[in-house]
Amino acid sequence: MKARSIVIGCSVTALLALVVIGVSVFFLFRHLTSPAPLPAPSALVASDSVGLALLRLEPDTIWVRSAFEHLQRRSQGPAPLKTGKLTPLEVIWTARHSGPATEGHLVAMSLSPSGRFLGLSLDLALWKAGRAGEPLARRIVHGGEGITSFPGAHIPGEFFVHGPTIAWGSDLEAAQRGVDLLIAEERGEAAPPAGLPVLDLYPGEGHHTLRGVLIDQEGCLGRLLAAVPGAPGPPPDLTGVLGLSFLLDPTSPTEGSGEIRLRYADTITPAVRQETAAALAAWVRSVSPAGLHLEATPRQETPGDALVLTASGLEGLVDTLVRAAARAERALVRAQEDQTAPPPADQSSSTFQ
């Protein structure tokens, strides 16, 4: 009788354990696949920020639908890619003035639907890659988050994942600051962003696919513009320009339109403003980020203060991003192969044979 009671007790305990595990797994899965709140752009802005840009992709945006159809044709997969699984998606870029002629950059991509699940998967991948150790990878823990870099693969920057946000910092300090700011916002401890120069000029109203702002601080405006991918060199002299803001919205799968607004010091005359705007428009036309073709012309209604901006070649952005990801993957694989390859055989003894 005693043995029978033990068997029944053990069976009930095992059954209850399975039920608890099953319920926990169910709720964990529900949590990981439920829509996640996206961080506010202002959450990643601090007093030393000199740049802020937000790219928001909605499932009904014409360019997003076209991009997913293009990816489906490239992958030749059996099931269609659903925009609702990945969008709305936001990419936030911020820059900070970190020293003489130096800026640090942070790029944070956040996905609302399934963002937690994808973030957990990538975080595990980064953790696994970090276990390879130096010189291939380096991983440190800051604020409870792992920050991973790949010096052995010559992949620049530092990577980390926080919830539904996958982030890249141009340096370790930028990544650490990103972790701190995201944790502060999540806990409701973020400092009030009011009064910051970047947010004062940021075009926050309305629904736009791309919006952003750059301000000048010890010449950083010219350096930030020169760092735009596809820029042929530094922009023209922008003396007297305190900052600029920009907007861009897709109007078709291949084209977009928007504007650039300039803010000047009060001492800058209208004639100088028009000359500066015309020179900047000519420079913008020479910039080709990710294969885009940009056109900028001074707006006649507000000469010197605004430029009309158009973009063509939006369809090439997806291919550019896919190729960049493929190059990074190949670099990481090569570095792993070099690290695990056996050392060359010692041929010194054959010299005297």
pLDDT (tens digit per residue) in 294-341: 999 999 877 789 999 999 988 777 666 666 666 666 766 666 566 565
User: What are the φ and ψ backbone dihedral angles of 70, each rounded to 5 degrees?
Assistant: -65, -40
DSSP codes, 14-75: HHHHHHHHHHHHHHHHHHHHS--PPPPGGGG--TTEEEEEEEEE-TT-HHHHHHHHHHHHHH
The mean of the pLDDT values for the chain is 80
| SS3 (DSSP) at 348 | helix
Which long-range contacts link 149-154 to residues 24+ away (Cβ below 8 Å)?
A: 150/331, 150/332, 150/335, 152/335, 152/338, 152/339, 153/328, 153/331, 153/332, 153/334, 153/335, 153/336, 154/331, 154/335
Residue spans of the domains in the chain: they are 35-317
| SS3 (DSSP) at 350 | helix
The pLDDT score that the predictor gives to residue 115 is 66
Amino acid at 86: L
Which long-range contacts link 325-332 to residues 24+ away (Cβ below 8 Å)?
A: 328/153, 328/155, 331/150, 331/153, 331/154, 331/155, 332/129, 332/150, 332/153, 332/155
Q: Locate 96 and state its tokens.
A: 């900070």
pLDDT (tens digit per residue) in 205-246: 888 999 999 999 988 999 999 999 889 889 999 999 999 999
pLDDT (tens digit per residue) in 92-143: 999 998 778 789 999 998 887 776 767 788 888 888 888 877 788 899 999 9
**Is residue 104 a contact partner of residue 170, using CB atoms and an 8 Å limit?**
yes
| SS3 (DSSP) at 192 | coil
Instruction: Please state the length of the chain.
Output: 353
Amino acid at 208: H
Confidence of residue 350 (pLDDT cuts 50, 70, 90): very low
Beta strands of 151-264 (E only): which ranges?
A: 155-162, 165-169, 210-215, 241-250, 255-264
Neighbours of 85 (CB within 10 A): 13
H or E element: which one contains 294?
A: strand 293-298
Q: Locate 351 and state its tokens.
A: 């010299």
Which residues neighbour 85 within 8 Å (Cβ) at sequence distance 6 or greater?
Answer: 113, 114
pLDDT (tens digit per residue) in 264-303: 999 999 999 999 999 999 999 999 887 789 999 999 877 7
The C-alpha atoms of residue 296 and residue 308 are separated, in whole angstroms, by 5
